[in-house]
Structure 1
Amino acid sequence: MPDVRNPGPEYLAFWRERHVCTLTTLRPDGTPHVVPVGVTYDPETRIARVITGGNTRKAAHVMAAGPEGARVAVCQMQGRRWATLEGRAVVRTEPEEVEDAVRRYAERYERTPRHNPERVVIEIAVDRALGKG
């Protein structure tokens, strides 16, 4: 299991490559809700970010957890390589946070997402890293 404080260069390089990821949140009944997303990861701050519309189920699941946030996981895979980041997520709506997350997304995925005035950021304070390279 990679050390979240020092996961190693190969693990971090994998999080910079262009991959579709999944985000797992929990529904009110406790069952998992898994959806494809784009994820960016800043290892220095240990923050992962997912941009989404403010009216999506994934955002609603995180907001329903209250101010302390929701336990979530993001994952990506390619062949035998896989990486998961787990942590506590909150929804951020501040324009500067949304702009920063969009910029990070555009860097990783090499495309700027279309304008969405209802965009929010699911911000994950990562406290666990898993994976196999």
Structure 2
Amino acid sequence: MLVGATRPDLAGLGEGFDAFWHERHLCTLTTVRSDGTPHVVPVGVTLDAGTAIARVITSRGSYKARLVAAAGPAGAPAAVCQVDGRRWSTLEGRAVLRDTPEEVADAERRYTLRYRAPRVNPDRVVIEIQVTRVLGNV
């Protein structure tokens, strides 16, 4: 599977793809440091296939959040990936930081549905990735 577009039709990738992104899997988030090297960390990811938006909740002071915030409104290049045996999927796009109470609450609700209720964190923000490319074998 390789899909690339401004906003790919993730819903059109089938039930297997959708199910894979709803199963409970640990993922990785890759962002790029100022020196061009990758910064890869384990995260939980939720995906809204209808809008092609992946979300990661984190603390405002985390390095990943600071990297994304430093990119400003244009966003930072980012990728999230999950693997389960031979099945894998990578979502690439531009990441921006969201921090309104409504955006954080929505991301927490989505995270709770896929994983479990997150711990209370008054410094929580959302890394929101507008997916532009999908790779994988699902």
How many aligned residue pairs are there?
Answer: 132
Q: Where does structure 1 differ by over 6 angstroms across 4 or more consecutive aligned residues?
A: none
Q: CA RMSD in A?
A: 0.9
- Does the residue aligned with 1:75 lie in a helix, a strand or coil? strand
Q: Is the 8 A contact 1:7 1:129 kept in 2?
A: no
- Does the residue aligned with 2:66 lie in a helix, a strand or coil? helix
Q: Is the 8 A contact 1:2 1:8 kept in 2?
A: no
- Does the residue aligned with 1:125 lie in a helix, a strand or coil? strand
Residue 12 of structure 1, CA deviation: 1.2
Residue 23 (structure 1) aligned with residue 29 (structure 2): yes
Counterpart among 104, 112, 120 of residue 115 in structure 1? 120
Identity %: 64
Residue 9 of structure 1, CA deviation: 1.4
Residue 8 of structure 1, CA deviation: 1.7
Residue 112 of structure 1, CA deviation: 0.4
- Does the residue aligned with 1:25 lie in a helix, a strand or coil? strand
Counterpart among 82, 97, 107 of residue 101 in structure 1? 107
Structure 2: which amino acid aligns with 1:70? Answer: A
Mapped partners of 1:29, 1:2: distance in 2: 28
Please show how residues 1-133 of structure 1 align to structure 2 within 5 Å.
1-3=1-3, 4-5=8-9, 6-109=12-115, 111-133=116-138
TM-score by length of 2: 0.93
Residue 7 of structure 1, CA deviation: 1.7
CA offsets per residue over residues 76-101 of structure 1, 9 Å max, x none? 00101000111111000000000000
Mapped partners of 1:8, 1:86: distance in 2: 19
Residue 53 of structure 1, CA deviation: 0.1
TM-score by length of 1: 0.96
Residue 2 of structure 1, CA deviation: 4.4
Unaligned runs of 5+ in 2: none
